[in-house]
C-alpha cells in the first residue's frame, strides 16, 4: 500500500512538472513571437518588455563607452561592441546621446533596425528546452549540425530574451566578413557604417563625446 502511494505521488509530481514545462514552452514561444512582431514594426517601447536584464545591462555599459571611450579603449573591444559604439556616434547627435540612458539607447537601436531585425523577420524557433527559470530554443533557420540558440530567462513572470547570448556568433560572422573584404577591421567597419548611415564618417567618431563641439 505504501509503495503504491509513493508511486502514485511520484507519478503525480512528474505529470505536474511535465504540464508546467509544456505551458512554459508555449509562453517562451509567445514571448519570441511578441518580440518579433514589435521589432519588425520598429516598436522599441513594447519590444524591450521581452528583453532580459542581461541585454539591458549590455546597453547601459555600451552607452558609457559611447560617451567616454577613446580610440585606445575601442580598439580593445569586440567587433560587435566596436560597431555598436561607432554607429551610434555616427548616427546620433551629441545632445541626444547625453540625454539617453541604457533603455532609451536600446529603444533607439530597435526603432532603427540595429537589433537583428532582418534575422527575426525570416526565423522562428523550435526544440524549446526548459530548466527552471532558463530556456533555450533553436533558431529554425540554423543548420542542424551547427544550431543557433536563443536564450530566455524568466523575469517578473515573463520569459525574456537574452540577446547577449547571440553576440559570440555575431562576432564570428563579422570576422568572416572582414576577412572576405580584404580590408582591415577598422576600414571595413567604417565602410559598413558609412553605407548604413548614408553619410560620410564624422571626424569625431573615435573621440569621447566630451571632446565633440
Reported as a single tens digit per residue, the pLDDT across 54-104 is 999 999 999 999 999 999 999 999 999 999 999 999 999 999 999 999 999
In a domain, 70, yes or no: yes
Total domains in the fold of the chain: 1
- Which grid coordinates are listed for 177? 566578413
Tens-place pLDDT, residues 1-22: 544 555 444 454 445 454 556 7
CB 62 within 8 A of CB 84: yes
In tens, the pLDDT along 150-181 reads 999 999 999 999 999 999 988 998 999 999 99
Evaluate whether residue 136 is within a structural domain. yes
Q: Is residue 8 in some structural domain? A: no
Going by pLDDT thresholds of 50, 70 and 90, the confidence category of residue 23 is confident
**Helices (DSSP H) in 41-52: which residue ranges?**
44-47
Q: What pLDDT does 14 receive?
A: 42
pTM: 0.86
The chain-wide mean pLDDT, for the chain, equals 88
Asked if the structure places residue 122 within a domain, the reply is: yes
Are residues 50 and 38 in contact, defined by beta-carbon separation less than 8 angstroms?
Answer: yes
- Cα separation, 87 vs 109, whole angstroms: 10
Is position 6 within any domain? no
Assess if residue 143 is contained within a domain.
Answer: yes
Residue span of the structural domain in which 92 resides: 14-211
- Determine the Cα–Cα distance for residues 91 and 110; give it in Å rounded to an integer: 14
- On whether residue 21 sits in a domain, the answer given is yes
Residue showing cell 522599441: 44
Do the beta carbons of residue 92 and residue 205 sit within 8 Å?
no
Amino acid at each position: 500500500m505504501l509503495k503504491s502511494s509513493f508511486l502514485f505521488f511520484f507519478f503525480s509530481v512528474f505529470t505536474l512538472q511535465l504540464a508546467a514545462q509544456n505551458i512554459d514552452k508555449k509562453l517562451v514561444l509567445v514571448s519570441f513571437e511578441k518580440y518579433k512582431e514589435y521589432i519588425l514594426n520598429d516598436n522599441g517601447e513594447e519590444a524591450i518588455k521581452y528583453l532580459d536584464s542581461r541585454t539591458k545591462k549590455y546597453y547601459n555599459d555600451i552607452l558609457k563607452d559611447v560617451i567616454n571611450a577613446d580610440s585606445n579603449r575601442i580598439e580593445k573591444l569586440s567587433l560587435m561592441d566596436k560597431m555598436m559604439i561607432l554607429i551610434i556616434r555616427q548616427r546620433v547627435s551629441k545632445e541626444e546621446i547625453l540625454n539617453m540612458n541604457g533603455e532609451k539607447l536600446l529603444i533607439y537601436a530597435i526603432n532603427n533596425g540595429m537589433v537583428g531585425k532582418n534575422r527575426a523577420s525570416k526565423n522562428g524557433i523550435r526544440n524549446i528546452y526548459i530548466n527552471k527559470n532558463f530556456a533555450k530554443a533553436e533558431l529554425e533557420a540554423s543548420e542542424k549540425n551547427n544550431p543557433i540558440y536563443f536564450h530566455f530567462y524568466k523575469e517578473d513572470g515573463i520569459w525574456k530574451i537574452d540577446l547577449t547570448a547571440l553576440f559570440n556568433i555575431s562576432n564570428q560572422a563579422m570576422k568572416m566578413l572582414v576577412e572576405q573584404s580584404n580590408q582591415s577591421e577598422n576600414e571595413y567597419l567604417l565602410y559598413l557604417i558609412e553605407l548604413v548611415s548614408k553619410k560620410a564618417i564624422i571626424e569625431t567618431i573615435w573621440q569621447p563625446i566630451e571632446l565633440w563641439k
